[in-house]
Chains A and B, each alone.
Chain A
Amino acid sequence: MTQPGILIEAVVIVVWIILILGVGVYSRRFIKGTGEFMVGGRAIPVWMLGFWSAGASVSAWAFFGLPGAIYAAGPWQHWALCIPMMTGFPITVLFLGRWMRIAARKYNLMTMPDFLGEVYGGKLIRIFAAIGIVIGSIFYATAQFKAIGVLLSTILGVDYITGAALGIAISVVYVVIGGFVAGAIVNTLNVSMMIIASIIAVGLGYMWTGGYTNMYATIIRSGLTAWANQDAAMGGRAWWFWASWFLLVSSFGLVGQPQIVQKLYGIKKPSTLWAWGLLGSIVFGITCPAYCYLGIVTRYLTVVGQAPNIVAVYGSPDYVIAWLTVYKLGAEAPILGGLLIAGVISAAWSTIDGFVMMGGAAVARDILNKCFRPNWTDKQLLKQLRIWMLVVGILIVIETMFPAELITWLAAIGWAQFAATLAPALLLATTWKGITKWGGTAGVFVGMFVTAFLTLVYRIPMGTARFIATFYLDAGAWGMILSFITIILVSLITKKERGPLYYEIHKVPQPTQQTQ
């Protein structure tokens, strides 16, 4: 912390933070009601939303947690978690995007439970979906805040709690004030920074390691053969874990990520959805693998004695990127280090705002307004949105101050919770005529409950090490499978009640007795 290089890095970060805050405050002038606050008045250019969605999917999970997890447990996680997520963007456009966007204005859709409620009908599906969103938001946002906390505490030489509190305070200011418009502008800047940082990261890593093949060969020669082999990593379970995430949670599960998919409501022209799918995928494909690569690079540096054993020295692999950017680059190339750190912070922020908004909207709009207080004025709803965003923010703060898990696991739990709660019901909503109100409601409940149950009950009392041997991060895959099965089975045996949007999607005449 006394090095001049680290001081230069700190200056780069402070300038970046001031820029972000300024945009948040400036964006306040665009907020006139919930429409602007939640979906930017449905007038945001598609390329901005593609950038934002990619940033929201990359997050500090990929930029911070995943390199640490790869450092500790092997590069197979890059192919299990990161690469399949690229396919989630086109999958979303192909299966869901058109209907979400063209129905948005008529049905005043702003959230994912809105869409489910209008297709399946009924209040319970909204409530279960909203509960799943709140649970997922808390875990996922905590991962982002923890990453910022670790990074700021390392670079500023303060303790973790102070670093995390600083990151939280900045986020709250620009999200609560600026809403969707602030998010769109800030995240265009954030993702641009992430792309620059990623390209720099790959170039540096390649130079430090003497080539890609040499990097692996050196690591494997040191005895880490299981680390480098998907069949052997994690006691042989990495292969199963890879399959469940590649085939289900990372790819099709992206459809259920409200922080990513809800952005479709904000697209100006429905005909440009393809650009969202392509941009999101490509930006993600450039940025996520780059930081995963840094996890492997740091492992190499440890093997050749140019880096300490991060887990032994800091007690957690979460410090891999913090060490690399602050201590290695702080000494060798501080401006580049500052840019890489800004890339990580940008990745976290591009996600945090989404989660605070999702969590608040899930309670204020999806549960209170839509189910119990339908007569709220727009002004009352906007006020409630801000109040509940603060409440969710406080829950996230509490979780951030006492983080029980590694960053990558916290984020994976949140991702899996969204995937299992929402993705099966959303995918079947547009692809299967046989869905019913009770099928959808039961499926959302099962996905939400099974994943939360496996995560909370199996995980916390038994601890991470033993959980690896049981369900660890496969909870979302089990939730998704059971949710699909439940929707199909319950739909087959229950009354054919559906919401109004169902009849438009499937071109089925609406029965006159139909009630929502």
Chain B
Amino acid sequence: MEIFLLGEYAILVFLDWMLGRSGFGIPGYGLPGGPWTSTFVVLYIMEWICWFIIPIITMLWWRAWSKRHPDLLQEL
């Protein structure tokens, strides 16, 4: 299910599925039996982390932090 929350390319994979075209984009690589440094496992997970975890989670956390510490955001 996590595939639905991946980045732009994964959305295209999802669109493929909706249109009845099965597959994960680049076939085989990174799937069981393939090299782990290749495309599917490393790259799609990386895309998910770079798209959602780091920008959205960290910046919303920073926003909450800045509201708790307005004194630290005053001009020196």
Specify which chain A residues have a CB less than 8 angstroms from the CB of B73 in the assembled complex. Answer: 98, 102, 270-271
Q: Which residue of A lies closest to B27 (CB)?
A: A217
Is A35 close to B, CB under 8 A?
no
The smallest C-beta distance from B54 to any residue of chain A, in angstroms, reads 5
Are the CB atoms of B59 and A213 closer together than 8 Å? no
With A273-B62, A277-B55 already in contact, the answer to whether A239 and B37 are too (CB < 8 A) is yes
- Given the complex, which residues of A lie within 8 Å of B75, measured CB to CB? 102, 104-106, 270
The answer to the question of B19 belonging to the interface, with a C-beta cut-off of 8 Å to chain A, is: yes
Query: In the bound complex, what is the Cα–Cα distance between A286 and B59 (angstroms)?
Result: 18
The digit string for B1-39, where 1 denotes a CB below 8 A from any CB of A, is: 000000111001101100101111111010000010111
A230 CA to B72 CA, complexed, in Å = 44
A213 and B16 contacting across the interface, CB-CB below 8 Å: yes
Q: Is the interface of A mostly helix, strand, loop or mixed?
A: helix
User: With contacts defined as CB atoms under 8 Å apart, how many contacts are there between chain A and chain B in the complex?
Assistant: 143
Report the separation of the CA atoms of residues A504 and B75 in the bound assembly, to the nearest whole angstrom: 12
Contact B15 A274 (CB under 8 A): no
Chain B residue contacts of A212, Cβ below 8 A: 9, 12-13, 15-16, 23, 25
Q: Which of B42, B55, B63 contacts A89 (CB 8 A)?
A: B55
How far apart sit A89 and B51, CA to CA, in the bound complex (Å)?
Answer: 12
CA distance A490 to B16 in the complex (A): 55
A106 B26 Cβ-Cβ under 8 A:
no
Please report which residues of chain B, range 27-67, place their CB below 8 angstroms from some CB of chain A when the two chains form the complex.
Answer: 27, 29, 35, 37-39, 42-43, 46-47, 50-51, 54-56, 58-60, 62-63, 66-67
Q: State whether the Cβ of A458 lies closer than 8 Å to any Cβ in chain B.
A: no
Q: How far is the CA of A88 from the CA of B70 in the complex (A)?
A: 24
**In this assembly, does A147 line the interface, its C-beta being within 8 Å of a C-beta of chain B?**
no
Question: What's the least CB distance linking B64 to chain A, in Å?
Answer: 9
CB-CB under 8 A for A228 and B55, given A83-B50, A206-B15:
no
| Complex interface: chain A residues within 8 A of B76 (CB) | 102-103, 105-107, 504
Tell whether A289 pairs with B55 under 8 Å between CB atoms, given A98-B73, A211-B16.
Answer: no
Q: Write the nearest CB–CB distance from A429 to chain B, whole angstroms.
A: 15
Q: For B56, what are the chain A residues with a Cβ–Cβ distance below 8 Å?
A: 278
A30 interface residue per 8 A CB criterion: no
Tell me which residues across on chain A come within 8 A of B50, comparing CB atoms.
83-84, 86-87, 285
Within 8 Å of chain B (Cβ to Cβ): is A220? yes
Do B58 and A86 touch (CB < 8 A)? no
Interface residues as binary, A71-89 with B (CB distance below 8 Å gives 1, 0 otherwise): 0000110010001101101
Is A332 on the interface with B (CB-CB < 8 A)? no
| A93, A105, A211, A239, most chain B CB atoms within 10 A | A211
Q: Is A311 an interface residue (CB 8 A)?
A: no
A290 contacts the other chain (CB 8 A): yes
Q: Does A159 contact B (CB under 8 A)?
A: no
- Known A-B contacts A86-B54, A87-B55; A228 and B29 likewise in contact (beta carbons under 8 Å): yes
Task: Convert A184-228 into 0s and 1s, putting 1 for each residue whose CB lies closer than 8 angstroms to a CB of B.
Answer: 000000000000000000100010000111101100100000001
Looking at the assembled complex, report how far the CB atom of B13 sits from the nearest CB atom of chain A, in whole angstroms: 6
Flag if B55 contacts A229 (CB, 8 Å).
no
A128 within 8 A of B: no
Q: Is the CB of A271 within 8 A of B70?
A: yes
- Residues of chain A with a CB closer than 8 A to B58's CB: 90, 93-94, 277
Q: In the bound complex, how far is the Cα of B76 from the Cα of A504, in angstroms?
A: 9
Residues of B within 8 A of A246 (CB): 46
- Establish whether residues B22 and A213, one from each chain, have CB atoms under 8 Å apart when the complex forms: yes
Residue in contact with B7 in the complex, picked from A83, A91, A231, A504, CB distance below 8 Å:
A83
Contact B27 A213, beta carbon cutoff 8 Å: yes
Q: Please, how many angstroms separate the alpha-carbon atoms of A224 and B13 in the complex?
A: 20
Q: Which residue of A lies closest to B24 (CB)?
A: A213
Q: How far is the CB of B7 from chain A (nearest CB, A)?
A: 7
12 contacts between A and B (CB under 8 A): A79-B46, A87-B55, A90-B54, A105-B75, A212-B9, A214-B16, A214-B23, A274-B66, A277-B58, A278-B60, A282-B55, A285-B50
